[in-house]
Amino acid sequence: MGTGRNVERRTILKAAGASAAAVGLAATAGCGGSGAGDGTVTIRYSWWGAEERAQKINKTIALFEKKYPKIKVKTDFQTYASFWEKFQTQAAGGNPPDVFQNAVTFLRKYDKRGILLDLKSQVEAGNLSLDHFRAGVTKVGEVDGKQLGVPVGSNTMALVIDKKVFEKAGVEPHAGWTWDDYFKALKTIHDRTKVAGDTGYFSIMYLYDLYLRQNGKAFYTDDGLGFDKADLTEWWTDGYNRVKAGIVTDPKVVAQDFPKSSLSAGHGASEFTWDNFTVRYSAEGDSTYGLAPIPTMDGKHTGQYLASLMLSASARTAHPKEVAQFIDFMVHDPEVGKIMGYDRGILASTEQYSAYRPTDAVNKEIAQYEDDTAKAGVLGTITPHPSGADTIEAAFLRIGGDLGQGKTKVADAVKQFFTESEAAFQA
């Protein structure tokens, strides 16, 4: 090694220098300069969604930065599940995004953990206006006397159907139809087209909530579950029997289609989900998708309510004023409404609602659906979800799937769900 000594020493010095530089870099990156010397402020904005939504949002941000040249917006997006995993870690580390997309399931959870900014103070300071919203929409972001989110769009649960399959089977959904009608329809569809009628209604938390509401209960109370083991046993037993009968899509197929929906993959003729999802399914699938009414117990009450996607702010933000201005712009600016359309639900503020007139069939039908639902007078008020609801929603879906695959008996599945719920509420 005699000759290599000098070279070696030089290499080591270089290596040492490089690692010192790396440490230095890491240190500066950690500070993430949010306030430059010239008064420019940078805020971080995160949301969940797909590429299509990202493109629209980026356009709206360009508009915002033009109007507020002193505020720069740094963005970041993931799919729904990944978004919340990342958000939780960021929030726990004291570094959540300044402003982010939010939904009712997460309000109490993150309020309890002190992450959400009560926007009331910003409303009072005049940086954010809660006027000019469609009736009752802002209520969704109001929990326990605080304004934890401002809605960008409202949506409601619906039955999304594959119109071509329904037509082929000669089945026509109508307002006020009952569950019996619905399940008969599924059977007709399966008999005549060989396609399963539904993609797995019995593991969707939001649908079971509607069913319970029709029966004078609800999925959640303020701090727990609003139903008992006997209720769920009945719901899941029926569900499993319908999978076996072939009128509900085989969960094996659903698992393979995921993350695509089995409806847009052509493996089911209908799916209970949010009404604005027809936008996604129309992009994803080959058929034509439409909206049908939620089946009822009594021919009238659907149990529906308006939910929404919201913008919330971090209680830790160093720039609450700028964040409030950002939210205000995003919910009220008519141009933003024109760009976003019904991607995140029917536009919530009246300025945006009247600025955007849907021209394509899909968006027109969503507007029509919410209009009809509102006129039918079936919309109730939302019950804010207790902390832990997100974990419970995932457990409901997963255990329902296990059950459908025949891997768990109904009694065990119900027991497992109640145990996991208990843990989620306590977490």
Partner 1 sequence: MGPAVTLVKDSPPAARKPRSAVSATTGRRPGRRRENLAGYLFMSPWIAGFLLLTAGPMAASLYFAFTDYNLFNTPKWVGFDNFTKMFHDPRWQKSVEVTAKYVVIGTPLKLLLALGVAMLLAQSRRGQAFYRAAFYAPSLIGASVSVGFVWRSLFSDGAIVDRTQSVFGWHVGGWVGNADWVLYCLVALTVWQFGAPMVIFLAGLKQVPRELYEAAEMDGAGPLRRFWNITLPMISPVLFFNVLLETIHSFQIFGSAYVVSNGTCGPADATLVYTCYLYEQGFKNAQMGFAAAMAWMLLLAVALVTAVLFWSQKKWVHYEEGAR
> Nearest 5 degrees, angle CA 325-CA 320-CA 108?
105
Q: Is 391 in the site for partner 1 (CB under 8 A)?
A: yes
Stretches 8-16, 180-188, 215-223, 235-243: which one binds partner 1 (CB under 8 A)? 8-16
* Single-letter amino acid code for the residue at 392: I
Contact characters 308-347, partner 1, x per CB under 8 A:
----------------------------------------
Residue 36 CB, nearest distance to partner 1 (Å)?
30
Using the minimum distance from each CB to partner 1, give the nearer residue, 176 or 266: 266
Say if CB 97 and CB 46 are below 8 A apart: yes
Judged by CB under 8 A, the chain residues 406 through 425 that form the site for partner 1 are: 407-408, 412, 416, 423-424
Using the minimum distance from each CB to partner 1, give the nearer residue, 31 or 69: 31
Q: Is 78 in the site for partner 1 (CB under 8 A)?
A: no
Closest residue by Cα to residue 292 from 190, 184, 166: 166
Beta carbons within 8 Å of 23's beta carbon, 6+ residues apart: none
The C-alpha atoms of residue 131 and residue 68 are separated, in whole angstroms, by: 22
Say if CB 343 and CB 308 are below 8 A apart: no
Using the minimum distance from each CB to partner 1, give the nearer residue, 59 or 415: 415
Look up tokens 């992009």; give the residue: 283
The C-alpha atoms of residue 212 and residue 396 are separated, in whole angstroms, by: 15
CA distance readout (Å), 395 to 50, 62, 228, 416: 24, 39, 16, 9
Q: Which residue among 241, 256, 368, 381 contacts partner 1 (CB under 8 A)?
A: 256
Q: Which residue among 99, 158, 247, 254 contacts partner 1 (CB under 8 A)?
A: 254
Q: Is 81 in the site for partner 1 (CB under 8 A)?
A: yes
Stretches 60-68, 80-88, 100-108, 323-331: which one binds partner 1 (CB under 8 A)? 80-88
CA distance readout (Å), 130 to 158, 278, 308, 350: 27, 29, 15, 11
> How many residues sit in the footprint of partner 1 (CB under 8 A)?
40
Q: Which residue among 113, 244, 300, 364 contacts partner 1 (CB under 8 A)?
A: 113
Residue 314 CB, nearest distance to partner 1 (Å)?
14
Q: Is 229 in the site for partner 1 (CB under 8 A)?
A: no
Q: Is 95 in the site for partner 1 (CB under 8 A)?
A: no
The C-alpha atoms of residue 186 and residue 246 are separated, in whole angstroms, by: 9
Q: Which residue among 61, 73, 91, 247 contacts partner 1 (CB under 8 A)?
A: 91
Closest residue by Cα to residue 269 from 338, 361, 201: 201
> Nearest 5 degrees, angle CA 357-CA 153-CA 377?
85
The C-alpha atoms of residue 165 and residue 174 are separated, in whole angstroms, by: 16
Using the minimum distance from each CB to partner 1, give the nearer residue, 306 or 395: 395
Stretches 191-199, 346-354, 362-370, 401-409: which one binds partner 1 (CB under 8 A)? 401-409
Q: Is 125 in the site for partner 1 (CB under 8 A)?
A: no
Closest residue by Cα to residue 96 from 131, 136, 44: 44
Q: Residue 124 is encoded by which pair of tokens?
A: 């009072």
Stretches 198-206, 247-255, 320-328, 356-364: which one binds partner 1 (CB under 8 A)? 247-255
Q: Is 194 in the site for partner 1 (CB under 8 A)?
A: no
Q: Which residue among 97, 197, 251, 337 contacts partner 1 (CB under 8 A)?
A: 251
Closest residue by Cα to residue 271 from 180, 196, 172, 176: 196
Residue 160 CB, nearest distance to partner 1 (Å)?
22
Residue 25 CB, nearest distance to partner 1 (Å)?
13
Stretches 62-70, 291-299, 373-381, 396-404: which one binds partner 1 (CB under 8 A)? 396-404
Q: Is 25 in the site for partner 1 (CB under 8 A)?
A: no
Q: Is 21 in the site for partner 1 (CB under 8 A)?
A: no
Beta carbons within 8 Å of 248's beta carbon, 6+ residues apart: 186, 196, 197, 198, 199, 200, 201, 202, 239, 242, 268, 404
Beta carbons within 8 Å of 298's beta carbon, 6+ residues apart: 178, 214
The C-alpha atoms of residue 45 and residue 96 are separated, in whole angstroms, by: 10
Residue 104 CB, nearest distance to partner 1 (Å)?
19
Residue numbers at the binding site for partner 1 (CB under 8 A): 1, 5, 8-9, 12, 15-16, 19-20, 23, 81-82, 85, 88-89, 91-92, 113-114, 251-256, 258-259, 391, 394, 398, 401-402, 405, 407-408, 412, 416, 423-424, 427
